[in-house]
Structure 1
Amino acid sequence: MSAPASPTAPATVVISPCLWFDDGLEAAMDFYTAVFPNSTVGDVLRRSDPDGGQGGVVAADFTLGGVMFRGINGGPQFRFSEAVSFQIDCADQAEVDHYWERLTDGGEESMCGWLKDRFGVSWQVTPRRLYELLRDPDPARAYAAQEAMLQMRRIVVADLEAAADAAAPA
């Protein structure tokens, strides 16, 4: 059980993922804001040069699909891993295909709707229909959809539905 909120605790909290890039933050922001609707680049902090000029990007805020992200160019000390991924809730197969094609361009496909993009960030591209089928009240249909999904890289809704329908009693 969690402790009650402190009377001095803020009424609202904003939690934003912060992505650590070696030096690819600017390219990543440009790429991601082109892939996701309702996306913008916000504040960008650049290195200051001794002569008063500005150098490369140090840190920045950007919004993807209405969600605030922060990024830093922190050097090669840390790498992305599948331990943290971003799930894209797709309304239909067209959305799955859009995000899959865009994010795997220069990246790497994995199983069950997972991929790594060209920057090494892990994503799960999942259609809502997958979760509907996995919660099907008929356990045979749910199991068949799950087994079909486990064989896929990009999730194909029609194939999930066909597997579930084949498991349904005649």
Structure 2
Amino acid sequence: MRAIVPTLWADGSAAAVADFYTSVFRDARETNRTHYPTEGLPDFQQHMAGEILTLDLEIHGLRISVINAGDEFRPNPAAGFMVNLDPAFLEDPRGYLDSLFAALSEGGRVLMELGEYPFSPRYAWVEDRFGVSWQLILTDPTGEPRPTVLPALMFCGPAQNRAVEAGRAYTNLFPGSRLGTAVHYPQQTGPATTDGVMFSEFRLGPAQDDPREEFWVTAMDSAVEQDFTFTPGFSLLVEAEGQEEIDRLWAALSRHPEDEQCGWCRDAFGLSWQIVPADLGELMRAPGAHQALMGMKKIEIAGFGTHGLLSNPH
């Protein structure tokens, strides 16, 4: 496994998303973009010919990809990001938090007001104008270092009270992973039972020399009944090293065959994943590659050719 990349679905607005985040965050830049082919697209994609297909960002060291597509999906608060503002590594973290709150909430909505909470002297939860949720937290500089930006999952609806189970499943799937802190609810709180967690964290993949470069995920169970759950509006893309790893991850994660398409699958908790070859960008340069990918469910590397399209096994 080369990397896990949080991916956002954008309704034709990938460039606007990138421009917004690179203007809001102190350390953010665009790293790559790909485009739809100009010919050979299926009918429902014809209007996207030549347009941006994916746009990759790096925000405080975290790779984030934005998919430019239709209006089928939109991110929601079940999956977003936590911004870990650590005074040990950031200058004026409180001021930075307040500026992020002002920028991200403009045109969006506030899910938890900016203020002091038992778990942090400064915290807020906002959903920005594109539907992406951000938890902004001033953290204890004496704790273990964590990345500045982390994916944040909220287990609710059909996934309620399964955050701990999911953390165990995901860490068992990726070599070198480990569980971190887990704070359980002391009593039934709304739909959250004592098996549920107010906060938990886990690392996917091996340790790094600098812990801030590791891939950590936070997870919680909702204490309020929600009318939403995970959707493809937020997914985790895994760059797999070869067909064998693709096959292993697909077998472990895909639990909804009706949702399998172009390397996308949905797991037992409803979270969407993209399992792709680490060299997908190179494979997609082959003639006919887009058509081949559109015909696949699980990606079969043999379906792409370096000098033309091989026969598609599907």
User: Shorter chain as normaliser: what TM range?
Assistant: 0.7 to 0.9
What is residue 201 of structure 2 aligned with on the other side?
A: 61
Task: Report the TM-score when normalising by structure 2.
Answer: 0.44
Indicate yes or no: 2:301 matched with 1:129: no
Judging changes above 3 Å, is the alpha-carbon distance between structure 1 residues 147 and 61 closer, same or farther for their aligned structure 2 residues?
same
* CA deviation profile, 1:92-143 (whole Å, cap 9, x unmatched): 1111111111101x344411000000100000000023321213xxxxxx34
Indicate yes or no: 2:156 matched with 1:16: no
Judging changes above 3 Å, is the alpha-carbon distance between structure 1 residues 163 and 148 closer, same or farther for their aligned structure 2 residues?
farther
Judging changes above 3 Å, is the alpha-carbon distance between structure 1 residues 163 and 57 closer, same or farther for their aligned structure 2 residues?
farther
Aligned length: 156
What is residue 158 of structure 1 aligned with on the other side?
A: 302
Write the mapping of 1:5-84 to structure 2, written as runs, cut at 5 A: 5=26, 8-9=91-92, 14-21=148-155, 22-49=160-187, 55-58=194-197, 59-65=199-205, 66-74=214-222, 75-77=224-226, 78-84=228-234
What is residue 52 of structure 1 aligned with on the other side?
A: none
Unpaired runs of 5+ in structure 1? 50-54, 136-141
Write the mapping of 1:91-106 to structure 2, written as runs, cut at 5 A: 91-104=241-254, 106=255
Separation in 2 of the partners of 1:4 and 1:15?
11
Task: Report the TM-score when normalising by structure 1.
Answer: 0.78
Separation in 2 of the partners of 1:9 and 1:147?
50
What is residue 135 of structure 2 aligned with on the other side?
A: none
Letter in 1 for 2:247: D
Once the 2 structures are TM-superposed, how far is the Cα of residue 3 of structure 1 from its aligned partner?
A: 7.3
Question: Which runs of 4 or more aligned residues in structure 1 lie more than 6 Å from their structure 2 counterparts after TM superposition?
Answer: none
Answer 1 or 2: which has greater strand percent.
Answer: 2
Letter in 2 for 1:14: T
RMSD: 3.0
Separation in 2 of the partners of 1:4 and 1:156?
38
